[in-house]
Amino acid sequence: MTVLPNCNAQAGPEVDLHSARTTTLPADGDSLDDIVFVAFDTETTGLSPIACRLVELCAVKFRLGDGEPETFETLINPGQPIPPEVSALHGISDEMVKDAPLAGPALTRFFDWLGGSAPVLMAHNANFDVEFVKVEAMRAGLSMPQNFVLDTLVFAQNHVNDCANYKLKTLSEYFGFAGALYHRALDDSIYVEKLFRKLLERSAHKTFGELRAGGSLSVFGALPQVSGRERLSQNALAMLATLEEAIGGGGEAEVRLTYHSEFKSTRVVMPLAVIESRGSVYLNAFCKKSQAERTFRVDRIVEAILLSRKR
CA atoms of 194 and 31, how far apart (whole Å): 19
Check residue 32 and give left, alpha or beta (phi > 0: left; psi -120 to 50: alpha).
alpha
From the list 18, 124, 183, 260, the catalytic residue is 183
**Active-site residue flag, 124:** no
User: Strand 252-260 to strand 120-123: parallel, antiparallel, or no bridges (unpaired)?
Assistant: unpaired
Contact 40, 129 (CB under 8 A): yes
Element (H, E) at 236: helix 234-248
Q: In angstroms, how far is the first alpha carbon of the chain from the final one?
A: 33
CA atoms of 151 and 183, how far apart (whole Å): 17
Bridge partners (DSSP) of residue 219 are 148
Which residues have CB under 8 Å from 185's CB, separation 6+? 40, 41, 42, 43, 56, 57, 58, 73
In this structure, how many other beta carbons lie within 10 angstroms of the beta carbon of residue 61?
Answer: 21
Helix (H, G, I), strand (E, B) or coil at 252: strand
Instruction: Name the CA dihedral angle for 73, 111, 222, 42, rounded to a multiple of 10 degrees.
Output: 10
Q: Is the dihedral of CA 27, 132, 107, 95 positive or negative?
A: negative
The H-assigned helical ranges of 69-228 are 84-90, 94-97, 103-114, 126-140, 152-159, 168-175, 185-203, 208-213
Which amino acids are annotated catalytic? 183
